[in-house]
């Protein structure tokens, strides 16, 4: 069954302070909204509901991600209905939908997966944590009584539903509510409780930004990916080769379906490998004529954007070109700069070097050029 997400981001978030609504303020150098979007990037569709004044901020936060933007309403429930309406009108109407507050930028993948799985047997499911603290009632700064905490839970998002069920509920009760579980219960939908997580923090006050950054940093320490790539191309008649995005005059060129940039191909495969996403051929089949003669930067840019969409930063890359000729050293600086610009990282995180095979093998006989590459990705 297909699953979509509606990320509610039309609010103003005044309690969080700062010059911008909280969803556009930064965590670890990126907007809060980008962290929230990244958590749901693996789903079939993502709709973000925004304030009309925030279009430019939203597009910048979602750069490189497949996100549909919808203008919200004056109330949270109204904004959710706007997001659901966009999905209802979509040619690929989902079977399940997750509704999430953009201010929860640290939602663990486990929570999302648990909600989606619960919808296989329930029409609604939401994460929550049982209340463990003692509860008081009070007035005028004084304790007036106690409250039994048995059966009480702290609600979180994403709150998930069978799409048709929650869409019908919102149409039947076009009113504001504390959350979508309240709307669902108005029409008699049972909502299963799945375990929430203390790391699923909702940014509300100024001090919550520091807590959210700490959670994201701790998570990043635990997910470092390494990938490697290897490629080889034979020579054929020509007058230049393209290596790591730089054209170098030569008495031959490299043979390939695209521009045969052997260094960039190996690096692209290294990034795909770190993501467990196969190789270039999976994403850009050589049987597809549209890639005939294509610039290899198309492939590398796609791999880098896919890494970012999955929540990874490219920490560093290392490319080794194996050939007798042409000489790579004079062009290595330009190659590193070209690769850095394509991937959107600093040039000091890119290494390009060359070696010979001491006249051994096909590279030693100058029949072609080989390349190996390594990429390190870090969860952010």
Looking at the structure, tell me whether residues 187 and 238 fall in a common domain: no
Looking at the structure, tell me whether residues 184 and 266 fall in a common domain: no
Using the 3D structure, point to which of 221, 254, 276 is the last residue of a domain.
Answer: 221
Looking at the structure, tell me whether residues 47 and 195 fall in a common domain: yes
Looking at the structure, tell me whether residues 162 and 237 fall in a common domain: no
* Nearest-angstrom CA–CA distance, 372 and 264: 10
Looking at the structure, tell me whether residues 59 and 173 fall in a common domain: yes
**Residue 268 burial class via C-beta count within 10 angstroms: exposed 0-12, middle 13-18, buried 19 and up:** buried
Looking at the structure, tell me whether residues 7 and 118 fall in a common domain: yes
Looking at the structure, tell me whether residues 215 and 260 fall in a common domain: no
Q: Tell me the per-residue pLDDT of 91-150, one tens digit each, with 9 for 90 and over.
A: 999 999 999 999 999 999 999 999 999 999 999 999 999 999 999 999 999 999 999 999
User: At 195, which CATH number?
Assistant: 3.90.550.10
Q: Tell me the per-residue pLDDT of 223-279, one tens digit each, with 9 for 90 and over.
A: 889 999 999 999 999 999 999 999 999 999 999 888 999 999 999 999 999 999 999
* Predicted TM-score (pTM) of this structure: 0.64
Q: With 80 as the cut, is the pLDDT of residue 220 above it?
A: no
Higher pLDDT among residues 189 and 14, named by residue: 189
Distances from the Cα of 106 to the Cαs of 15, 99, 194, 199, 217, in angstroms? 19, 15, 17, 6, 10
Other C-beta atoms lying within 10 Å of the C-beta of residue 321: 25
Tell me the β-bridge partners of 136: 146
The closest alpha carbon to 7, from 57, 63, 68, 60, belongs to 68
* Nearest-angstrom CA–CA distance, 67 and 16: 25
Looking at the structure, tell me whether residues 188 and 321 fall in a common domain: no
Q: How far is CA 224 from the centre of its chain?
A: 15
The number of distinct structural domains making up the chain is: 2
**What is the percent of the chain where pLDDT is above 90?**
84
User: At 334, which CATH number?
Assistant: 3.30.1330.50
Using the 3D structure, point to which of 187, 202, 221 is the last residue of a domain.
Answer: 221
With beta carbons less than 8 A apart as the criterion, state whether 199 and 215 touch: yes
HSE toward the beta carbon, residue 319, CA cutoff 13 A: 34
Domain boundaries, position 295: 224-379
Looking at the structure, tell me whether residues 88 and 186 fall in a common domain: yes
Looking at the structure, tell me whether residues 36 and 177 fall in a common domain: yes
Higher pLDDT among residues 379 and 233, named by residue: 233
Using the 3D structure, point to which of 191, 221, 251 is the last residue of a domain.
Answer: 221
Structure tokens at 18: 């700062």
CA dihedral 62, 65, 67, 72 (to 10 degrees): -10
Structure tokens at 40: 């749901």
Looking at the structure, tell me whether residues 216 and 228 fall in a common domain: no
Looking at the structure, tell me whether residues 201 and 265 fall in a common domain: no
């Amino acid at each position: 069954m297909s699953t979509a997400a509606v990320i509610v981001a039309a609010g103003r978030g005044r309690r969080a302070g700062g010059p911008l609504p909280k969803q556009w303020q930064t965590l670890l150098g990126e907007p809060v909204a980008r962290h929230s979007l990244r958590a749901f990037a693996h789903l079939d569709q993502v709709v973000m509901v925004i304030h009309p004044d925030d279009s430019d901020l939203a597009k910048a936060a979602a750069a490189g991600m497949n996100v549909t933007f919808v203008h919200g309403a004056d109330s949270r429930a109204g904004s959710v209905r706007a997001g659901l309406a966009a999905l209802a009108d979509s040619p690929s109407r989902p079977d399940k939908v997750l509704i999430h507050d953009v201010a929860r930028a640290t939602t663990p993948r486990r929570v999302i997966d648990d909600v989606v799985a619960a919808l296989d047997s329930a029409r609604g499911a939401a994460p929550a944590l049982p209340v463990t603290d003692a509860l008081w009632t009070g007035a005028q700064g004084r304790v007036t009584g106690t409250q039994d905490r048995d059966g009480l839970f702290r609600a979180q998002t994403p709150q998930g539903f069978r799409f048709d069920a929650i869409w019908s509920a919102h149409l039947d009760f076009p009113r504001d509510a504390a959350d979508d579980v309240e709307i669902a219960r108005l029409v008699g939908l049972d909502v299963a409780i799945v375990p929430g997580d203390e790391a699923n923090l909702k940014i509300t006050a100024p001090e919550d930004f520091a807590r959210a950054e700490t959670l994201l940093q701790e998570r990043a320490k635990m997910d470092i990916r390494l990938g490697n790539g290897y490629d080889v191309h034979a020579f054929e008649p020509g007058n230049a080769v393209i290596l790591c995005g730089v054209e170098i005059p030569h008495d031959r060129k490299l043979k390939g379906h695209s521009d045969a940039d052997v260094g960039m191909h190996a690096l692209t495969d290294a990034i795909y490998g770190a993501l467990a996403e196969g190789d270039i051929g999976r994403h850009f089949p050589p049987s597809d004529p549209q890639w005939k003669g294509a610039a290899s930067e198309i492939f590398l840019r796609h791999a880098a954007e896919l890494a970012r969409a999955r929540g990874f930063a490219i920490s560093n890359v290392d490319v080794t070109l194996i050939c007798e000729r042409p000489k790579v050293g004079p062009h290595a600086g330009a190659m590193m700069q070209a690769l850095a610009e394509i991937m959107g990282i600093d040039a000091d995180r890119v290494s390009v070097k060359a070696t010979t095979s001491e006249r051994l093998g096909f590279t030693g006989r100058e029949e072609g050029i080989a390349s190996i590459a390594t990429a390190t990705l870090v969860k952010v």
